[in-house]
Amino acid sequence: MAIKVIDEKCIGCSKCQKSCPFDAITIENKIAVIGDACTNCGTCIDVCPTDAILQEGTEKIVRDLSMYKGVWVFAEQREGKIMPVVFELLGEGKKLANEIGTELCAILCGSNVGGLTDELFAYGADKVYLADAPELEKYTTDGYSKVINEAIGIYKPEIVLYGATHIGRDLAPCLAVKVNTGLTADCTKLEIDPDDKKIRQTRPAFGGNLMATIVCPGSRPQMSTVRPGVMDKAAYDPSKKGEVVKLDAVFEEGDIRTKVLEIVKTTADIISISDADFIVAGGMGLGKPEGLELLKQLADKLGGTVAASRACVDAGWADHNIQVGQTGTTVKPQIYFACGISGAIQHIAGMQDSDLIIAINKNENAPIFEVADYGIVGDLYKVIPAIIDELDKLGK
């Protein structure tokens, strides 16, 4: 497909130029010209007052897509423990599978991980494809992508979902090239088109300034990585059983070209911000890295944890693993305190689904107040100690 301007109809009003999210349109001699940056999104078609812009179809070789069936979830495990995002993917995958009228499967890789299949059934998987081999004990791109590529080739799923973890985001792009299909990264919403039963994948782009809905019309499987913490977890039913399909996981010398020498944990004692119920987050308004200490006092009082904006992390005040936002972690705690955070759209993208947002900022016009449930205009170095005092009065 391509966007085309009918020169005779174009009046050079430049509405399309202004509407283009990708800056791809220029007006030359009073006629709109579509440039290289065009992604075919169609925004300009909607705004054109004279219907001078069209989406043209280009002929493509249509593959037989009907043989692809089933929704698959990559059941990422680390050290024999299934990652929380997998249960969210199973929850979402079940909805998609029901709408299409197909089965929900999990694909599990590891060494001696057969015992995890019951848990996957309990969370809704009808079938588990199991690749169990000593070579799969630790995650490697080559090892995992080899067995999953082979499984996709044999069993032909229609949709494959991966958690957008450091492993999922490593594995899925390699598989997209190996199996020759499209991949949409970091999706925050998935839905099935009621007419053609294809998946529509919505994700933030431009640091959360724009949402894009992506389709993968001509190749299979349709693949997405999904942000952890966004989808609802599947219901747990320990009585539910399913079928285990064992995969051949045979490796030859040279198949796995990286070697994991050591796994080092650095943050074992910190509550992961994606699991925290209470988050006290700081931004550049802290003015100094020591400000995070004050936030920690409030967080400790609530039994929560401290997080930071990207600007704080970029300034070297905080570690990347507590960064909230589009390029950091998406969080949805019960309470999110935004302290000295102005509310850049990329930050808001990572915390707007929190149950309750409390913003403290000196600047009454800070955009963070637009998403806050409660706002306090004031100096956080005065307001936070006062809140701690009030909580003390309650005996917290």
Partner 1 sequence: MRILVCAKQVPDTNEVKIDPKTGTMIREGVPSILNPDDANALEAALVIKDENPGTEVIVMTMGPPQAAEMLRECLAMGADEAYLLSDRAFGGADTWATSATLAAGIKKVKKVDLVLAGRQAIDGDTAQVGSQIAQRLKMPVVTYVEDIKIEDKKAIVHRQMEDGYEVIEVQLPCLLTCVKELNEPRYMSVGGIMDAYEQPITTWNHEDIGLSPEACGLNASPTQVFRSFSPPAKGVGEMITGTNVSEIAGNLVSKLKEKHII
Residues from 103 through 162 that contact partner 1 (CB under 8 A): 138, 141-142
Q: Which lies closer to partner 1 via its Cβ, residue 214 or residue 249?
A: 214
Residues 19-58, interacting with partner 1 (CB under 8 A): 19, 21, 23-24, 35-43, 58
Stretch of 87-95, 240-248, 263-271, 288-296 contacting partner 1, by CB under 8 A:
263-271
Q: Residue 382's CB: how many other CB atoms inside 10 A? A: 9
Give CB contacts under 8 A, 24+ apart, made by 362-371: 362/285, 366/341, 366/342, 367/342, 367/343, 368/338, 368/341, 368/342, 368/343, 369/343, 370/343, 371/343
Minimum Å distance from CB 360 to partner 1? 9
Paired strand residues for 78: 81
Minimum Å distance from CB 34 to partner 1? 9
| Out of 9, 15, 156, 169, the residue judged to bind partner 1 by CB under 8 A | 169
Minimum Å distance from CB 75 to partner 1? 17
Paired strand residues for 204: 211
> Does 11 interact with partner 1 (rule: CB under 8 A)?
no
Q: Please measure the distance between the N-terminal and C-terminal CA atoms of the chain and give it in whole angstroms.
A: 61
Residue type at position 39? T
Q: Residue 366's CB: how many other CB atoms inside 10 A? A: 21
Q: Residue 80's CB: how many other CB atoms inside 10 A? A: 12
Binding track, positions 68-107, relative to partner 1; x by CB under 8 A: ----------------------------------------
Q: Which lies closer to partner 1 via its Cβ, residue 168 or residue 242?
A: 168
Q: Which lies closer to partner 1 via its Cβ, residue 45 or residue 100?
A: 45
| Out of 218, 238, 246, 248, the residue judged to bind partner 1 by CB under 8 A | 218
As a whole number of angstroms, the distance between CA 307 and CA 168 comes to 23
Considering only CA atoms, which of 179, 181, 186 is closest in space to residue 201? 186
Q: Which helix (H) or strand (E) holds 302?
A: helix 291-302
Considering only CA atoms, which of 315, 297, 319, 306 is closest in space to residue 391? 297
| Out of 49, 80, 217, 238, the residue judged to bind partner 1 by CB under 8 A | 217
Stretch of 214-222, 229-237, 239-247, 284-292 contacting partner 1, by CB under 8 A:
214-222
Stretch of 90-98, 232-240, 245-253, 351-359 contacting partner 1, by CB under 8 A:
351-359
Instruction: Return the structure tokens found at 66.
Output: 């009907």
Stretch of 115-123, 153-161, 198-206, 285-293 contacting partner 1, by CB under 8 A:
198-206
Q: Which lies closer to partner 1 via its Cβ, residue 58 or residue 239?
A: 58
The count of residues interacting with partner 1 (CB under 8 A) is 103
Residues 318-347, interacting with partner 1 (CB under 8 A): 320-321, 326-327, 334-335, 344-346
Could you give the residue ranges of the DSSP H alpha helices within 21-140? 43-47, 84-100, 117-122
Minimum Å distance from CB 237 to partner 1? 29
Residue type at position 192? I
Stretch of 88-96, 103-111, 121-129, 163-171 contacting partner 1, by CB under 8 A:
163-171
Residues 276-315, interacting with partner 1 (CB under 8 A): 302, 310, 314
Instruction: Return the structure tokens found at 232.
Output: 């609802």
Residues 219-258, interacting with partner 1 (CB under 8 A): 219, 257-258
| Out of 82, 234, 341, 357, the residue judged to bind partner 1 by CB under 8 A | 357
Stretch of 5-13, 129-137, 283-291, 383-391 contacting partner 1, by CB under 8 A:
383-391
As a whole number of angstroms, the distance between CA 264 and CA 254 comes to 25
Minimum Å distance from CB 110 to partner 1? 16
Residue type at position 42? G
As a whole number of angstroms, the distance between CA 161 and CA 142 comes to 19
Minimum Å distance from CB 165 to partner 1? 7
For 304-339, the three-class secondary structure string (H helix, E strand, C coil) is CEEEECHHHHHCCCCCHHHEECCCCECCCCCEEEEE
Paired strand residues for 54: 4
